[in-house]
C-alpha cells in the first residue's frame, strides 16, 4: 500500500479542509477539495440504496488517498462522518474495488444536506457482490475523517 507521495497544491486559506486522516501514519494529513482533485478525478456511474435510479458520481479513488499517506500497517480504516456515524472498512475494499470519495453526484457538488462534502461510494452496479447488505453500512456520507488504527 506504500506509494510515493505526490506534491499537493498548497493549502489556500479560502479552501476548507474536507478530509483529515490520522492514526498509524507519520503525521495527520488534511485535504481540501482542490488537493483531492489533484490526486486524480474519477467518474463512477452506479445506483445506490438511498437514491432513485442510476447516478454519476465524481471523486477521487479511495486507494489514491491511502497511497498518498505513505507506508501503513493497518488492515482497515475507521471512516467518521460529520453526524458522528462511523464505519470500519477493510482497506482491501479500496484496493479490490474502485471505491470513490465522491464530492459530486449528477454534476452537482454534494453539500452537508445531501450527503457531502464527501460520500464513500462503491461500484455496486459493476460488482454485484457489493450489493450485499454488509457493504451498505460502508457507504459513509458526510465523510470528514479517516482513522488508521
Fold held by 40-148: Sulfite Oxidase; Chain A, domain 2 (3.90.420)
- Spatial distance between the Cα atoms of 49 and 44, rounded to a whole number of angstroms: 15
Q: Give tens-digit pLDDT for 80-106.
A: 999 999 999 999 999 999 999 999 999
27, with CB counted inside 10 A (0-12, 13-18, 19+), is exposed
Domain positions in the chain are 40-148
Biggest CA–CA distance in the chain, Å, is 42
Q: Give tens-digit pLDDT for 33-68.
A: 999 999 999 999 999 999 999 999 999 999 999 999
Quote the pTM value.
0.89
Amino acid at each position: 500500500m506504500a506509494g510515493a507521495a505526490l506534491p499537493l497544491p498548497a493549502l489556500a486559506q479560502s479552501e476548507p479542509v474536507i478530509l483529515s486522516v490520522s492514526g498509524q501514519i507519520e503525521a495527520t494529513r488534511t485535504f481540501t477539495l482542490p488537493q483531492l482533485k489533484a490526486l486524480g478525478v474519477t467518474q463512477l456511474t452506479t445506483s445506490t440504496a438511498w437514491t432513485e435510479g442510476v447516478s454519476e458520481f465524481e471523486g477521487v479513488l479511495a486507494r489514491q488517498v491511502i497511497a498518498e499517506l505513505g507506508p501503513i500497517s493497518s488492515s482497515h480504516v475507521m471512516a467518521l462522518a460529520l453526524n458522528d456515524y462511523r464505519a470500519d472498512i477493510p482497506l482491501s475494499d479500496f484496493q479490490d474495488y474502485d471505491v470513490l470519495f465522491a464530492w459530486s453526484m449528477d454534476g452537482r457538488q454534494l453539500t452537508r444536506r445531501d450527503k457531502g462534502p464527501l460520500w464513500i461510494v462503491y461500484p455496486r452496479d459493476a460488482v454485484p457482490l457489493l450489493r450485499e447488505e454488509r457493504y451498505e453500512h460502508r457507504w459513509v456520507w458526510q465523510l470528514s475523517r479517516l482513522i488508521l488504527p
